[in-house]
Structure 1
Amino acid sequence: MHLSVVKAILFSIYASINLCNSEKTTNLPKNVSVSTLIAFGDSFVDQGNNNYIKTLLKADFPPYGKDFRGGKPTGRFSNGKTIADILAEALGVKEYLPAYLDPSLRAKDLLSGVSFASGGTGYDPLTPKISSVIPLSVQLDNFKRYIRELKRNIGEEAAQNLITKSVFLVVGSTNDLVINYFALPIRRLQYDVPAYDNKLVKLALNFVQEIYKLGARKIAVFGAPPIGCTPIVRTTTGGAFRRCQDKENNAAQLFNSMLKQQLQVLASSLPQSSLAFVDVYNPLITAIENPNQYGLEVTDKGCCGTGTIEVSGLCNKLSPTCYNDSKFLFWDSIHPSEEGNKILVNHILPDLVHSLF
């Protein structure tokens, strides 16, 4: 992946991935309820925070949001709901998870949770610099501010109790691998794939420990998706037949195996914690290889424009959209459609609930 990817992605693009289909939900164990969901990370769970910063990586214009409430583009990198929205609803928290930077956010909205995520960010501090988005370090600062606001609103003890019982989502690595490592040369000159994956895993674990110190106990850390099968990677490096790329997929799988193992080790050293590794790789690959099983028809292109390269600014009001986005796994050339996100949540929710409760 060379200059063509850099141009395509840095001019207007960016990333994470999701997945989806039917709207099944999983029942929580008896005597367990979730009142608050909090998300950190990238465009997988960016609910519109990038609307309020200076960056090219935005999704606050049509046709983004065409199937969202009122057909409104909110900054979500999808035609509709994100994984965060669907999980919030499945866990019985609320229908939509709001962006923390949304100026219309009310004090009562904080009680049921927010997203601090920023499309284009990653674990590697260099990743958000590439696209001028919100680093995880600043997301952590915003979380600390959120806690202070909670304490002012409901008192210190109630605020700390709320944080302890909250479910936390941590979603990263896609931009670190797709953009920072494979599209640009700096990190490849410094690290081979195993060394860079190891770096990302250490940074992910450090972030988990930081939010643990602030009271987080139920933490779900998402693995990397099959980045080599995203439409944009197929287009830029997959040749005439736009094949999935093993090099990128192997890097994602290695990261996932390292992360899963090290999360288990870390959990043993964090008292009263429940750490869940969330596998998004295998559900996505399954949907890509068996589209009919999920009512899908197209898994190698997005719904927006040609579906081969459009994302963020390249997916705009001049871009035609597909005949039926519920038949497409991807909405743009990187992000799953709402239908794709539903499929993913249906896959991950049972294990997620089992691991956290």
Structure 2
Amino acid sequence: MRKLTFVLSIFVVLTVYVERLQGYQVMLPPNITVPAIFAFGDSIVDTGNNNHLATIIKCNFPPYGRDFQGGLPTGRFCNGKTPADFIAQSLGIKDLLPAYLDPYLKPADLLTGVCFASGAAGYDPLTAKVVNVLGLSVQMNMFKEYIGRLKAMVGEERSASILSNSLYIVVAGSDDIANTYLGTPFRKFKYDIPAYTDLMVRGASSFIQELHDLGARRIGVFSAPPLGCLPSQRTLRGGKQRKCVDGPNQVALLFNSKLSAALARFNRKYSEARAVYIDTYTSILQIINNPQSYGFEEVSKGCCGTGKIEVVILCNKLSPGGTCPDPSKYVFWDSYHPTEKTYKILVDELLKKYVFEFFEANTTIAMYNN
């Protein structure tokens, strides 16, 4: 009996290890298809659109992409893949989600989805304008252009099927709170925190409504993360000890509660569609508070440079100290963005938690080898 218990314990430990190492693939029932994935929002899912803009918010240079295929800096704000890539991979669609503005984008890529996201965009229209990136209204216009190209390729009927059965990921809000509101005086004169989070939710609701009107039926909306625990916020507002800052976290939580309620109203209105609130705040905070259980050693600093403030153009090949020897031990790549390993863990956990809300109850999840 003791021997059996020991064997079972080892099996459980190995299973958890293999799951974290390999990831999950969503196995859909025969009558369910996900032909494509589309990503909108900010740098968390931008796979290279900012490369083609006249903005300082870009990362198409080393050390970004250090652990990407071939060590290439593709414009992903990370050392490797983004959540958009991992979700596309887990759904069995493709390994990477290309940027819509990629000059090498192939017609076949349009059939399986593209990324419209732009680093530093937000639900507040001012957020993108300040740094000259693609706001959500511009991303929506790009999506409309995409639909026209899709219809020209495969016709109205197949286009409608692709649009209605695909998965849409929306990730924004962090730059609104950390940069536009808390980081500048632009909005504070007109809005207090409750009013500003209302403005953000109106922007999110309007965007999701327009996606629905264009044919989207499966929409996942990421919450704001625990912004006060980002290395940059610890440095700017966390005092000498660089502790997590309560203020930004409380703003994020207020926004998240309003966003969740707005999505619930959307779902009551449209029985044929689902807008799923994806709570990244709790998942990321669990990693930050329990790093050892996920194999991390450093949570307060990024891997790039000193790890305290370097991000985008400040994270470069001349950054003091270069980059850390092993990014897999770090929760954050730079002072704002998680590492590839963190994203992979996060996506695996979120898929397990939320996939049933998008698809039928008999959807199952199985491990797969990358």
Q: Is the aligned partner of 1:27 residue 2:26?
A: yes
1:108-187 equivalence runs, <5 A: 108-187=108-187
How far apart, CA to CA, are the structure 1 residues paired with 2:36 and 2:101?
17
Moved more, 239-248 or 22-31: 22-31
Matched residue, 1:337 = 339
Within 5 Å, give how 1:46-85 maps onto structure 2. 46-85=46-85
| Secondary structure class of the residue paired with 2:300 | strand
After superposition, give the CA deviation of every residue in 1:315-354 in whole Å (9 maximum; x if it has no partner): 0111200020001000000000001101111221123311
**Matched residue, 1:17:** none
The residue identity in structure 2 corresponding to 1:194 is: P
The superposition leaves residues 80-99 of structure 1 with CA deviations (integer Å, 9 ceiling, x where unpaired) of 00000011101111000000
4+ residue runs over 4 A deviation: none
1:155 alignment partner, SS class: helix
- What SS does the corresponding residue of 2:269 show, helix, strand or coil? coil
Identity of aligned residues (%): 48
Given the alignment of the two structures, is residue 287 of structure 1 paired with residue 287 of structure 2, yes or no? Answer: yes
1:263 corresponds to which letter in structure 2?
L
Corresponding residue of 2:90: 90
Q: For residue 104 of structure 1, what is the aligned residue in structure 2?
A: 104
State whether residues 44 and 337 of structure 2, in contact with CA within 8 Å, keep that contact through their aligned partners in structure 1. yes
Scaled by the length of structure 1, what TM-score is found? Answer: 0.93
Report the Cα distance in structure 2 between the residues aligned to 1:354 and 1:188, rounded to whole angstroms: 40
Match of 1:327 in 2: 329
**Cα offset for 1:186?**
2.2
In 2 relative to 1, CA 249–313 (structure 1 residues): closer, same or farther, beyond 3 Å? Answer: same
Q: CA deviation at 1:26?
A: 4.5
Q: Structure 2 unaligned runs (5+)?
A: 1-19, 360-370
- TM-score, length-scaled by structure 2: 0.90
Where relative contact order (Cα < 8 A, 6+ residues apart) is larger, the structure is 1
Deviations 1:43-88 (A, max 9, x none): 0110000001110010100000010010000000000000000111
Q: Which amino acid aligns with 1:150?
A: L
Give 2:192's aligned amino acid.
D
What does residue 7 of structure 1 align with? none
Provide Cα deviations, 1:242-296, integer angstroms capped at 9, x if missing partner: 0111010001011111111110111111241011001110111101010001000
Q: Read off the aligned partner of 1:260 and give its amino acid letter.
A: S
Moved more, 218-227 or 190-199: 190-199
Provide the C-alpha distance between the structure 2 equivalents of 1:186 and 1:292, rounded to a whole number of angstroms: 40
Report the CA distance between 1:35 and its aligned residue: 1.9
Counterpart in the other structure of 1:214: 214
Query: Distance between the aligned counterparts of 1:352 and 1:146, measured in 2?
Result: 28
In structure 1, give the amino acid aligned to 2:135: P
Partner SS state of residue 228, structure 1: helix
Structure 1: how far apart are the matches of 2:352 and 2:187? 36
Q: Indicate if the aligned counterparts of 1:231 and 1:308 stay in contact, CA closer than 8 A.
A: yes
The Cα offsets for residues 110-152 of structure 1, whole Å up to 9 and x where unpaired, read as 1000000000110001100111000100100000000000011
The equivalent of 2:362 in structure 1 is: none
Aligned to 2:188: 188
Q: Which residue of structure 1 lines up, in the alignment, with residue 298 of structure 2? A: 298
Equivalent positions of 1:243-258 (< 5 A) are 243-258=243-258
In the alignment, the residues of structure 2 paired with residue 344 and residue 258 of structure 1 have an alpha-carbon distance, to the nearest angstrom, of 23
Match of 1:263 in 2: 263
Q: Give the counterpart letter for 2:306 in structure 1.
A: T
Give the partner amino acid of 1:279: D
Distance 1:88 1:29 in 2: 14
Contact in 1 for aligned 2:64/2:78 (Cα 8 Å): yes
| Mapped partners of 1:23, 1:163: distance in 2 | 29
Amino acid at match of 2:284: L
Task: Verify the 8 A CA contact 1:59 1:76 in the aligned structure 2.
Answer: yes
Aligned mates of 2:344, 2:255 — CA distance in 1:
24
Question: In structure 1, what is the Cα distance between the partners aligned to 2:52 and 2:28?
Answer: 38
Per the alignment, residue 232 of structure 1 pairs with 232
Q: Is the radius of gyration larger for structure 1 or structure 2? A: 2
Which 5+ residue runs of structure 1 have no aligned equivalent?
1-20
Once the two structures are superposed, residues 9-34 of structure 1 have per-residue CA deviations (whole angstroms, 9 ceiling, x without a partner) of xxxxxxxxxxxx64321433422332
Is the CA contact 1:35–1:92 (under 8 Å) kept in the aligned structure 2? no
